[in-house]
Amino acid sequence: MSTNPLFAPWPAPFGAPPFDLIQPEHFVPAFEDGMRRHLDEIDAIVGDPQPADFANTIVAMERAGRLLGQVSSVFFNLNASNGSDALRAVDTEMAPRLAEHGMKVSLNPGLFARVAEVYARRATLGLDAVQMRLLERTHLGFIRSGAGLDEAARARMSEISQRLAVLHTQFGQNVLHDEKDWVLHLAEADLAGLPDFVLEGLRQAAVERGLDGHVVTLSRSLIEPFMMFSQSRSLRKRAHAAWVARGSHAGAHDNRPLMPEILALRAERARLLGYANFAEFRLSDMMAGRPDRVAGLTGEVWDAALRKFGVEREQLLAEARADGLNEGLEAWDWAFYAERVRSRHYAIDAAEVKPYFVFENIQRAAFDTAGKLFGISFVPRPDLPVYHPDVVIYDVQEHGQHMGLFVSDPFARADKRSGAWMSSYRDQENLDGPVTPIIVNNNNFAKASPALLSFDDAETLFHEFGHALHGLLSQVRYPSQSGTSVRRDFVEFPSQIMEHWFAARENLREYARHHATGEPIPDALIDKLLAARNFNQGAASLEYTASSMLDMQLHEHDDPASLDIEAFERETLAAMGMPAEIGARHRPSHFQHIFAGGGYAAGYYSYLWAEVLDADGFEAFEQSGDLFDPVMAGRLRTVLSAGDTRDPMELYVAFRGQEPGTAALMRNRGLAAAA
């Protein structure tokens, strides 16, 4: 295995992964060796003849599994960002094996006995607050994995984990298959109404697939502007049908049979641990605490959004009737007429706005915002190996000193997972000396020359960059407390608060510049953009909140194995009063947040919960009179650097000076008047 780069020290500066050397066939042997080494390290901890203490048990566990963690980070990032049939085959093979390995560790009775022994004596060990939190969270992790159950229940927990790993992998691959498989070829007559920036994206999509002309794909960055501008109602209907049908086509890539099994396995796991359902289990270790608190928040937003939506619907219906559409609006009409109304009421044309949002300028705006707030800079490193020509790696510096690497991967590709996300190739820690982070931001912007972003695209860039800062600014000792390793309904706070700086007037004036002339965006257009920011927010809030409520109800169901998911979806949305003209943001068959992994299962509400924090938190900067107020920026940096070393509400109150309420959220979404 001497030729396998995953086993050798990485020679690139700052320990950057050797992307130019790594091949798919390197991963299985690296995973196997990583698992073997990890189990040897666990056996050594369990077999230590010395009495269990914080150093020889908890800290030793923090040191264990480093090779496996490194291989896993590289593989799962590459598989999501630059996938291939070969990598997906590795994923299919390794998912259950990795799940089995994880359960061998978390259900190891000897290891749990040592952790429990240290936990029982925690008050006598002289631990500082960070160490105490690490011990308590480690012990809780074992309990929630089932380590305290009897032997038969532990065996069943392991079986459940392995099966879920298979199902999660299959679900995500099925969605990717449908997104890659569908293409809508456009004839010349089909291009009516499409602005130049949309045409360029559709042309680039055709080139990437070796086709002539213009094609629509199921990349959100292409299909959303197509639905907004295409004058062909029949084509919008076809595109919408393909978009909502992802994952629900009969045959080998159908996700409908997978979902009841996923839900049933999660429910069984929760019951084994003494909870009534998976939602109760999940919420017990979240800031929200209980499903009824989530229901209270989503219900408050739903009611206000529904009232605002009624006004929006009448506006769009009037526009549609003036356009000769006398029947009711359908879901494939909403974006088209919303853009018409927005253009009419606010004198904003998206085709007029988009030329001012050049990707490179908005990326620089994010970097400069981080510089003003936190004193860091981003220096391109073209000498470092990359896994795709679109990728750019930056050396992140503070006072000229290296503090991490930032990997930017902005554009959509056929083998790239849809959506936008942040991840890490290496997390910050300082257990045995400083380890600097390697953080990646993935977006799926339409590649064009120039690459122009919508207002929402630019906001998404800032969102993911906020996650990146959470990883880059981390300053913790223990690896499991690093960066974004916080409770799910807190992890979105750093990302969502960064969105506010994108829309700040000073940033828009400086960085929103016309791609052809370099002229800054006119103040009058900024005024219109900000005035229109809450336009259509009733519909947008309903779309998101519907998915959040559907997620919770699926995970609270008494007998999910019996569910006909599509019937449940229809009945649940009808009971909510979901307007027929729009739909939930994610239909279950392609709801990857909750079915392609467990990260947001019974947790999709987290974006809304975090918005309570970010809307309230950003008002502190506004109230200071300086959006880059150094005192507030220092407090925010403390939140970003703390990782999981402190309780999240404690961190928030230290930053803001008070616990948040929903008033700022309702103002931020333009729902306060409708409440």
Give, for 365, the enclosing helix (H) or strand (E).
Answer: helix 359-374
Pair 207, 276: CB distance under 8 Å:
no
Omega cis (within 30) before 450? yes
Amino acid at 116: A
464 in catalytic set: yes
Pair 619, 664: CB distance under 8 Å:
yes
Catalytic residue among 339, 464, 543, 581: 464
What are the C-alpha distances in Å from 423 to residues 56, 81, 87, 220, 607? 30, 10, 18, 20, 17
Residue 132 CA to residue 172 CA, distance in Å, equals 37
Give, for 581, the enclosing helix (H) or strand (E).
Answer: none
Residue 463 CA to residue 469 CA, distance in Å, equals 10
Closest CA to 235 of 277, 200, 299, 192: 192
Residue 657 in 3-state DSSP?
coil
Count of other CB atoms within 10 angstroms of residue 182: 19
Closest CA to 648 of 411, 454, 425, 484: 484
Residue 446 CA to residue 314 CA, distance in Å, equals 32
Q: Where are the alpha helices (DSSP H) in 273-354?
A: 278-283, 291-322, 331-346, 350-353
In eight-state DSSP terms, residue 52 is P
Closest CA to 354 of 131, 133, 198: 198
Active site residues: 464
